[in-house]
A and B are shown apart, each in its own frame.
Chain A
């Protein structure tokens, strides 16, 4: 229900009232009309998180990469031993908008 899907703004339609500004957002190749009323200073190329046709917020690219920097760091110091486990198999392959 609270599903949010990340997408990239491709087009913004002008409207005098910021409440009714919409845009075309690209979700992995699928374009959809999205309400941008909740996004201040929306620009083409911005990544937004979209729920039921409404952009909830811009995504912060710098923060998004932080978790991977952290994991890279701990790997380099060799503090973690990778373990085999069943449950997570197929994780990387299952890329879908669900």
Chain B
């Protein structure tokens, strides 16, 4: 398939690992921000192809993993209401709240549906005027334009039985939190290619300058990631701290202004709590006042309260890049994808799930 298979070519990948081995003269630690990149790295064993002196640290870029437990509990309460159809992406349905998950609600008779796109939820709302349809909206800047488009469609179609519980988050404020951590060991970043496809990368330029770290906007195929790592290491070896773009076929510096405009028309920036990390100022999106009638948080007054995570689970440390999944006592025994304790074991993009799927299976 075009734009896919050629970026998974073994020979090309090995050429890049050769280039990286020749380049590196000392120890370096690089964080890949996006969970999709973590998945590719672990699936193809990219970290094991690199010299021992290069460490890849997995970042917080899994929106399902960082959705606060209180919001999941709120979604579970709404899904349990009579006459409600709750829709969300597949991963979101399996993330544990404080005592259940959304699939648990479905098992006990609730109408909970997995959708590919928020637009599918609009079609369900149009086809079921006697029901209330609630979309649980999670995702980074990549997903925000399609969520915004769904709200605009609902308005255009005059749907008054559609609303959404919004938990959208933004990447740059989270990078700043990671970088300002006291014992932050990260020297370079691979920024998330699809977030930057929408937003461009001007927001990352002041971060690179302020913290003195190179940031390379990177794609998701094995060859993209190897090239991104090579570009980042080259900057580190040369003492540069620039923002560079590996994912040229998809990303421009300014991003997609049309998509950004759609997103800004519907959403405004707000503070948001990240599961495992805490409250980050200016790191979330909420519906603008004009679209308040589509806000499920306002429409359904369900209570939510602060909840503690299971003590044994170190998902907060994993999400901040301080620990790897294999350092967790629960990993692979009491915490598995079938019975997850923390969200990174649920989502396909969670670091724990990637290690469980690809490392345990290979016995490494």
Contact = CB atoms under 8 A, between A and B. Distances in A.
Contact of A74 (B15, B120, B248): B15
B280 interface: no
A47 B3 contact: yes
B4 interface: yes
B250 A54 contact: no
Contact of A19 (B14, B35, B149): B149
A12 interface: no
A46 to B, nearest CB: 12
Nearest to A28: B1
Chain B contact surface mostly? helix
A92 B153 CA distance: 40
B14 A82 contact: yes
Contacts, number: 180
Interface in A33-69: 35, 37-40, 47, 49, 51-54, 56-57, 59-61, 63-64, 66-68
A56 B15 CA distance: 31
A19 B262 contact: yes
Contacts of B11: 82
Interface string A1-33: 111101010000000010110000001100000
A44 to B, nearest CB: 16
A80 B152 CA distance: 53
Contacts of A87: 44-46, 48-49
A2 B140 contact: yes
A21 B12 CA distance: 39
Max chain B Cβ within 10 angstroms of own Cβ: one of A2, A56, A74: A2
B222 A37 contact: no
Interface in B242-274: 248-251, 256, 258-259, 262
B197 A85 contact: no
A55 to B, nearest CB: 9
Given A54-B117, A54-B146, A2 B194 contact: yes
B19 A80 contact: yes
A57 B10 contact: no
A87 B359 CA distance: 11
Closest 9 CB pairs between A and B? Answer: A87-B45, A53-B117, A54-B146, A63-B248, A38-B259, A6-B3, A64-B249, A28-B1, A80-B18
Interface of A: 1-4, 6, 8, 17, 19-20, 27-28, 35, 37-40, 47, 49, 51-54, 56-57, 59-61, 63-64, 66-68, 71, 74-75, 80-83, 85-89, 91-92, 94-95, 97
